[in-house]
């Protein structure tokens, strides 16, 4: 089995990744990150500048977030505990998939990850209590260059799960900033979105 398998998602610059997991009587072992294996799997040299970890209650919704391009902020996102409904949105004006959405369920059983290139927006919804999500990012946090888009923007039509894994109805919990985020159309009208011309420089 390959150490890291990849699946290209519908949006250019977005991949789902599956590590090889080795188990025995002691438990499991896997590589959580390997720069050479990732570069071989997706054709991108991902340089990690910062590592983040969020722990979220069931129903917590974080996003949609993106950074100015350049330099942008590529992300490798993994649920190290629990389950997260992960969403990637193409907000690069001029992109052939502009406005498109892809979603992947990340969980601590399969240990799958998503990689998203610079210029894409990202968010996730925790489907279990104490869901812990790890983010390796290519650029350090820069509050002046980071922005949000309304995760409930009707134009995006994201179908956020209404039920948790145990079947209970989710009560979405957002930060005040995320709840008041503008629509994709408003951000485009203000000229605040990444462009395809700039962002595609970060693709293989």
Q: Tell me the domains of the chain and their CATH numbers.
A: 47-202 (2.60.120.10)
The pTM score is 0.96
Q: Any idea which residues carry the catalytic annotation? A: 65, 135
Q: Please check the confidence at residue 1 and state whether its pLDDT lies above 60.
A: no
Contacts of 191 (CB under 8 A, 6+ apart): none
Strand 75-81 relative to strand 113-116, pairing: antiparallel
Q: How confident is the model at residue 2 (pLDDT cuts 50, 70, 90)?
A: low
Residue 98 has a pLDDT of 98
In sequence order, what E strands does 138-185 have? 146-148
């Amino acid at each position: 089995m390959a150490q890291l398998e990849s699946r290209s998602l519908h949006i250019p610059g977005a991949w789902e990744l599956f590590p090889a997991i080795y188990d025995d009587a002691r438990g499991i072992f896997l590589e959580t990150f390997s720069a050479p294996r990732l570069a071989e799997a997706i054709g991108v040299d991902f340089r990690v500048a910062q590592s983040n970890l969020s722990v979220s209650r069931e129903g917590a919704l974080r996003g949609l977030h993106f950074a100015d391009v350049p330099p942008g902020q590529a992300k490798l996102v993994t649920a190290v505990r629990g389950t997260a409904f992960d969403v990637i949105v193409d907000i690069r004006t001029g992109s052939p998939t502009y406005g498109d959405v892809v979603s992947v369920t990340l969980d601590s059983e399969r240990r799958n990850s998503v990689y998203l290139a610079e210029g894409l927006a990202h968010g996730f919804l925790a489907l279990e209590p104490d869901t812990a999500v790890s983010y390796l990012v290519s650029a350090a946090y820069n509050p002046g260059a980071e922005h949000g888009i309304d995760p409930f923007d009707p134009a995006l039509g994201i179908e956020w799960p209404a039920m948790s894994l145990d079947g209970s109805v989710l009560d979405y919990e957002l930060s005040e900033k995320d709840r008041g985020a503008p629509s994709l159309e408003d951000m485009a009208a203000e000229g605040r979105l990444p462009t395809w011309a700039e962002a595609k420089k970060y693709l293989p």
